[in-house]
Amino acid sequence: MNIKSKLALVGLISIGVIGGAANQAISSGLDTWKSGKNNNRIIEVQNKGGTQADTGKVGIDFFSNSSFRITSPRGISIIIDPWRNDPSGAWGLWYRMDFPKIDVDIGMSSHAHFDHDAIDKVDANMLLDRIAGSFSLGDVKITGIADKHQCVAPGDVAWTDAVKQFEGRENVCPPTNARHFDNTIFVIETGGLKLLMWGDNRPNPPKEVWDKIGKVDIVFVPVDGSKHILDYQQADDVFKKSGARVAIPHHYLVPETTFYTSTLKPAIEWVKTHKHTLLDSASIEVSAADIKSKKNHVMYFGSNNMVTNK
């Protein structure tokens, strides 16, 4: 083979390698650049404080698992912890479908687990991924408090032992935990309410975390019949210590969206240990006045969710 032919062959190989790498780069990561939407809404909020007249109500929509959309009285929308199936395949199929590609002003993730971190699945004007510190926009203030994921499985399935086996680790607990066992607790303040989004946080964070949280009105608690994240006593402790009037369960089985292979179970058993309301819709609107008389009260979405029964 002459030198010209060799150079041509090298060129073809290089193009193939570079092209493959380029294709790989293009096919991974966020695809925000593909969105046909823009940030006109955010500019409107900057200028006017919102996109609508103040309704006096905070909207809460359940998207199954630990995902909720919070809508402020002035119309700012926030999606928390959108989910996906495990891309590694190690944990099997959890979800029957992809998370819906919904429009939202702010997308948020509490930690880097597949059932909480699909922020690429939403068409968001901005993303707040595992933040610590405070962010304000319009009539919304979001505070992220860095802490740690639950690292001792309290229930039916020893999934934390499985993590150790998968990763070849002796310990998944702090201070030597890997990144995906970090967790951000979010406090969302809007419409005269403080909402505490627990994520999959450990049940016993240090005092300085509680000091940063302060007293809240509504707490979102990860509790289900399998006791996957928190057992019932731990869930009660978080509920009580937060000072919340109302708790909303999450991270439980919704059969319409989630396979039984997730090992999750419904949360109804825990719900019934409290004064409770079984909601008949995937959406509610609440104000401070609506829950003023509530004490140790649980609101349960059950299988009502925005993905399959909108």
Q: pLDDT (tens digit, 9 = 90+) per residue, 84-114? A: 999 988 899 999 999 999 999 999 999 999 9
Burial 176-203 (b: 16+ CB within 10 A, else e): ebeebbbbbbbbbbbbebbbbbbbbbbb
Beta bridge partners of 186: 144, 197
Question: Scanning the structure block, which residue is given the tokens 């964070």?
Answer: 205
Domain ranges in the chain?
1-30, 35-300
Examine the pLDDT at 8 and tell me if it is beyond 70: no
- Please name the amino acid found at residue 37: K
DSSP state, 262?
A: G
Angle, alpha carbons 188-191-193 (nearest 5°): 55
pLDDT band at 118; cut points 50, 70, 90? very high
- So what's the pLDDT on residue 309? 85
The CATH number for 35-300, chosen from 3.40.50.970, 3.40.50.1700, 3.40.50.300, 3.60.15.10, is 3.60.15.10
Least confident of 27-41, 157-171, 242-256, 270-284: 27-41
